[in-house]
Chain A
Amino acid sequence: MGLDPSIVKELIRITDEERVLLSLDERYTYAFDASFGTYLPDVVVFPQSATEIAEIMKLANREQIPVTPRGGGTSLSGGPLPVAGGIVLAMTRMNKLLRIDRDNLIAFVEPGITTAELQREAEKAGLFYPPDPSSSNVSTIGGNLAENSGGPHGLKYGVTKHYVIGLEVVTPQGEIIRTGGMTVKNVTGYDLTSLIVGSEGTLGIITKAVLRLIPKPPARKALMAIFDEIVDSGRAISGILKNGILPAKLEMMDQASIRAVENYQPSGLPLDAAAILLLEVDGHPAAVDEEIRKAAQICRQYAAREVRLAADEAERAELWKARKLVSPAISQVKPTKISEDATVPRSKIPEMLERLRQIREKYQLHLVVFGHAGDGNLHPNIIADSRDRDEMKRVEEAVAEIFKAAVELGGTLSGEHGIGTMKPAFMEMELGSAGLDMMRRIKQAWDPNNILNPFKIFPQPGQTRVVLTE
């Protein structure tokens, strides 16, 4: 426990005294993220440049000190947890927007800039950065890149990986490399950009990113469709997509989430409805009018009992408010939220919903489903109390079954939150041992001393289940 004083001295020499935090209180506030577990780092360092980070990595590699990069600390999978102690590299002060290049529709950013800040700056230039994790006000682009974050826009616009064309990365051995470039098309050599994106901070530390922007869609419209049968809502989703409409967002709320919202803040949602779909289309005003009309018609065809169309921006915001209230509403029930993001092919949504219902009954848990139904990224959320050990054990088992169901239906463990410390035990189930081994070999090639964000993604010997109790 504790770093050698000479190493602390070295870290201060590389940065400065004010950017090296050593006291217990400061370290305690970097010991957690939005997932589970508390792991105390030995030191927190705020780097300001790639050169500083390169020096820190050389030092860490020489002395075999674990290093964990951290952005906004909003991860739901444990990405920024310093499981092995060591150095937390807090990237939040490297937060400059370097440039927006309107001719080439690209933005150059430092990793600590928040997603929302980039979105605002893009908008000022008449452009649009679509990835929209719900934590965008807090989460950093560096964190988004490391976790390959998604969001409601994933359905139409894709996720973070679709908007990055170049990176500057510090390797675990302290080299500064550049991947990709400034062009959308680029097939020179292996696509290391894609390898780094979603690597959860285990292969390198992103110090600069070149991001693709698109023109801002001029119009948008939204509707809410209410269903008596959850299966109908699932079919309606397929129906809409089959008929050539690609909504910007397509979200669902199940009965448990509807009731939680109405209980918390009456919003005029029908308590007896089995599910609600919220749908938004964007694009050219004429196309938007046509598409929203058609989407409403399709919802009715699939037995929606009511379709509410937002007449203007105010009504549009009002419709989305119900969705935004789900999180605060369910947190009133019990304090601990286990937010899962297992994802299935769209056509399997009705089946997945049925499996989730069975799991809820089997384990007698508060399990609500709301999420990005349009891309199969359902968010089964279990509401529990971390002080109730018995309940948490049931949660652990239920979560394992959710993963199993998703993989069996041809889906994946994680659509957008990442593996981190939460899901390594299930990696082999999805990837097979040879597939997982290829990933391990990549990690070994990049980080032979295993100092960069250890204990993430890959299961430790004997790690077979998710552990939520401390």
Chain B
Amino acid sequence: MNEWQKLLPHDETFKCVKCGYCLPVCPTYKVLEKESASPRGRIALVKAAAEGKIDVLQHLAGPIDLCLGCRVCEVACPAEVKYGVILEGAKQAIHGAKQEKKAETPLFRWLEKLIFQWLFPYPGRLKALSGILWFYQKTGFARLVEVLGFSRFLPYHLGEFAAALPAAPFPLSFFGRKERLAPRKGKKARVAFFTGCIMDSLFFETNRKSIELLAAVGCETILPKGQTCCGALHAHAGKISQAKKLAKRNIEAFERSGADWVVTNAGGCGAMLAEYHHLLSDEPEWAKRAQAFAAKCRDLSTLLEECGPLPFKKKISCRITYQDSCHLRNVQNVISAPRKLLHSLPGAEVVELCGAGECCGSAGIYNLIQYETSMKVLDRKMEAVRETDAEILVTSNPGCLLQMRLGIRRAGLENRMKAVHLADLLHEACTGE
């Protein structure tokens, strides 16, 4: 047995009774229609690889890379198999084996290093990148690139994604943010806000609005210094030691804040934070701290719902639908709070999206790396979105939001529908902004 095989969670695979209840809920099984694209199939492959019957790189990597990691299968599983643990273990083994064999192209390795080590752990660098994007969008450069058709030469379909990006915030707005915002009415809780990476650059405004919403319902909100990326991208790519480093930095930063709750407005980051105790379970000096930290993690929607009502001023006279963030729904089990908030919007007509709990195919950087499968999943999703006839499509996670914006373009619905983050819509109803 080689070193990588040992990382595979062999014991956990025994819990799978192979009943197949995960098949009809799995988004990749639905579009690819074969067992290797299902949780049951992937678990069987992890088990086979752990037993040395198949090769980690040659046979396991492909099917595992095709998994979105949405974890909807965990909800459907009657045997409570921890699929997330199996997936993460498999990714770790594959990552290790790939590094050892130098199985990836130099460009891919360089890009990985750039993203995982030089970019995401540093919020400032992401803000700088967002500033470059602002310049690109505002100076007409973007238009030029589009007209000249340069974007199709970019790798990973980046041109298509760039066109779907929202307007980047004005770079100067990054400066001068207060580290504490006092509650606007009687104080109900002291909360520490997790700013995130993409959320605090490209969606900087959504963060600002989230904090203002918290203040509006009576939360004293602080932005702990020293916080960093949640590490979800790293963990999902099998880079567990990097993810652990980031987790420890966050735990330290938030412990110092002395807050009652750690609040996130990104479903994916929130799920990662809420599972730090799993990530650090094998480090005795951290396990307990991680446990305490994880127990404090809350999604923005649950706090707003609990401490509300929000001081709505403006009618949102639109038809609205909601797409769950997988990790908010399947990992954090936050299902009703965002919906209740939407229903409380004055003037709004809320319609449930058929299959709202199904992944949209965004899944971190899955849509870049597994473009074709991701688009199959997305196009299926957009059929259901079209059925709702909604004018506003609400999500609770930056990745989902970008994917929905792309989906709207692909479905040719730009003139009929826009995608927004829940906090943006709530804020609009509260301030009229």
Which A residues are within 8 Å of any B CB, using their own CB?
21, 23-26, 28-34, 44, 46, 72-74, 90, 92-93, 114, 116, 135, 137-138, 327-328, 331-332, 335-337, 385-387
Contacts and interface: CB of A to CB of B under 8 A. Distances in A.
Contacts of A328: 78-80
A34 B20 contact: yes
A34 B45 contact: no
Given A138-B23, A327-B78, A331-B17, A26 B34 contact: yes
Contacts of A23: 59
B389 interface: no
B20 A29 contact: no
Given A28-B53, A30-B35, A137-B21, A336 B44 contact: no
A223 B45 CA distance: 43
Given A25-B63, A29-B44, A331-B15, 13 more contacts: A25-B62, A26-B34, A28-B53, A30-B35, A31-B44, A72-B23, A73-B18, A137-B24, A138-B20, A138-B23, A331-B78, A332-B80, A387-B14
B403 interface: no
A29 B80 contact: no
10 contacts: A24-B54, A28-B45, A29-B38, A29-B45, A72-B23, A135-B20, A137-B21, A138-B21, A331-B15, A331-B79
A336 B14 contact: yes
B33 interface: yes
Contact of A335 (B15, B40, B45, B78): B15
Contacts of A31: 44
Contacts of B338: none
Given A32-B44, A336-B14, A138 B24 contact: yes
Interface string B56-81: 00111011000000000000001110
A354 to B, nearest CB: 28
A33 B18 contact: yes
Contacts of B63: 25, 29
Contacts of A34: 17-20
Contact of A29 (B17, B19, B33, B41): B41
Contact of B35 (A29, A74, A137): A29
A44 B41 CA distance: 14
A137 B19 CA distance: 11
Interface in B39-53: 40-41, 44-45, 48, 53
B36 interface: yes
Contact of A25 (B24, B60, B78): B60
A28 B23 contact: no
Contacts, number: 87
Contacts of A335: 14-15, 17, 79
B81 to A, nearest CB: 9
Size class of B's contact patch?
A: 20 to 34
Contacts of A26: 34-36
B279 to A, nearest CB: 23
B161 to A, nearest CB: 27
A170 B192 CA distance: 66
Given A74-B19, A138-B20, A25 B80 contact: no
B74 to A, nearest CB: 12
Given A74-B20, A135-B20, A331 B80 contact: yes
Contacts of A29: 34-36, 38, 40-41, 44-45, 63
Nearest to A138: B20
A424 to B, nearest CB: 21
B8 to A, nearest CB: 14
B34 A25 contact: no
A93 B78 contact: no
B35 A138 contact: no
A366 to B, nearest CB: 15
Contacts of B21: 135, 137-138
A63 B15 CA distance: 39
Contacts of B23: 72, 138
B21 to A, nearest CB: 6
A232 B33 CA distance: 48
Contacts of A33: 18
A387 B15 CA distance: 11
A135 B14 contact: no
Contacts of A74: 19-20
3 tightest A-B CB contacts, nearest first? A29-B35, A29-B41, A25-B59
A42 B15 CA distance: 27
Nearest to B14: A335
Interface string B78-108: 1110000000000000000000000000000
B115 to A, nearest CB: 28
Contacts of A24: 54, 58-59
A93 B19 contact: no
B34 A21 contact: yes
A138 B22 CA distance: 8
A88 to B, nearest CB: 10
Contacts of B34: 21, 26, 29, 44, 46, 90
Nearest to A326: B78
A392 B366 CA distance: 42
A29 B46 CA distance: 11
Contacts of B33: 46, 92-93
Given A26-B36, A29-B45, A386-B14, A73 B78 contact: no
A370 to B, nearest CB: 14
A46 B32 CA distance: 12
Contacts of B19: 34, 74, 135, 138
Contacts of B41: 29
Contacts of A93: 33
A114 to B, nearest CB: 7
Given A32-B44, A137-B24, A138-B23, A25 B54 contact: yes
